[in-house]
Each structure stands twice: as C-alpha cells, then as structure tokens.
Amino acid sequence: MKRITIAALSLGLCISGMGGDEKPPRQASSIPAAWSGKVTDAAQLPLEQNAWGTLKWVCNEKLMPGAEQTVGLATILPGKHNPVHYHPNCEEVLFVISGQGLHSYDGRTIPLKAGMTIRIPAKVKHNLVNTGTEPLRTLVSYSSGDRKTVFLEEQQAK
C-alpha cells in the first residue's frame, strides 16, 4: 500500500508540473488596486544589498505617498557593521528580531539582543555591529516618510 501511495503522489507531482524538490511558482501580489499606496507586500519589494547586509523598505513616502514614517527590515551579517551615520530630520527606533549586536550611540555602546528596542534621537551618531554568529535581523522605524541619512564613514561596496 505504501508503494501505491508514493507512486500516486509522485505521479500527482509530475502531472502538476513540479518535481518533488521544486518550489511552487511565486504568487503575484494579491493587493487590490484600491489599496495601492496603502499596503505593501515585502515579497514584492526590492532588497538593497550592502557589504554589511541588507535593507528592505516596507513603508516610506515613495512607496506610500503621504506616509509620515519610514519602516524597514535590516539584516547585518555576522562580524559586519553598518557605517556610522545619523539622521538629521528624524528619530529612529530599532527593534531586534533575532541575533545580537553592539550598538554605538554618540560614542557610547550598549549590547542588544532579540526582543530589545533602542530609540535614537535625530542627529545622534550611531551604528550597529553584529557580534553573533547568525544574521542580526532588525525592524527599523523613522519619524519621517522621507528619512535622510548622513554617513560619517564610507559605505563599502558589495
């Protein structure tokens, strides 16, 4: 009976056009047109890649006209750090989803781990170093839909 079940399952996968290790085709975004500019689908948004990790913006003035916040997902690779920088026009709130790191804050540092949140006022120089062995994943939010960033050290090309 096991062989018949396995054979039927294999046949079903072949008929549907998928081998056992293939992923199903990616679904197009199911956001209704009436919600365009109000809802985003992270799976459909571009990923900014840097030598230190990635950024994916899920809300800002460009994605959602009229937005008064910028929200993104940032990942810092093990042993890497984003450049020291500040935001002249907004504060930043950073929530650690997973991993651990050392956050600099105007010359001081504080260790951060999953579940911790830090608020960085406008104009405060800061950056984050991944001190762990896994990617450091964060949710970042800014008090402006048009967040500005001034880098104080050069961003390394990927």
* Vertex 54 angle, CA 51 and 58, to 5°: 155
Distance CA 158, CA 149 (A): 19
CB contact at 8 A, 31 and 37: no
Domain ranges, ordered by start, for the chain: 41-151
Give this prediction's pTM: 0.79
The answer for residues whose C-beta is within 8 angstroms of residue 19's C-beta and 6 or more apart is: 13
Q: What is the pLDDT of residue 153?
A: 80
| Confidence (pLDDT) at 9 | 38
What does the pLDDT read at residue 156? 61
Strands in 108-113's sheet, in edge-to-edge order, are 108-113, 100-105, 126-130, 85-86, 150-151
Find tokens 């937005």 and name the residue: 67
Q: What is 41-151's CATH number, 2.60.120.10, 3.40.50.11900, 3.40.1710.10, 3.40.190.10?
A: 2.60.120.10
Structure tokens at 79: 């042993």
Q: One digit per residue, pLDDT tens: the chain, 158 residues?
A: 444 433 333 434 333 333 444 444 455 668 999 999 999 999 999 999 999 999 999 999 999 999 999 999 999 999 999 999 999 999 999 999 999 999 999 999 999 999 999 999 999 999 999 999 999 999 999 999 999 999 998 766 66
pLDDT value of residue 30: 84
pLDDT at 154: 73
Q: Of 38, 30, 31, 33, which Cα lies nearest the Cα of 64?
A: 38
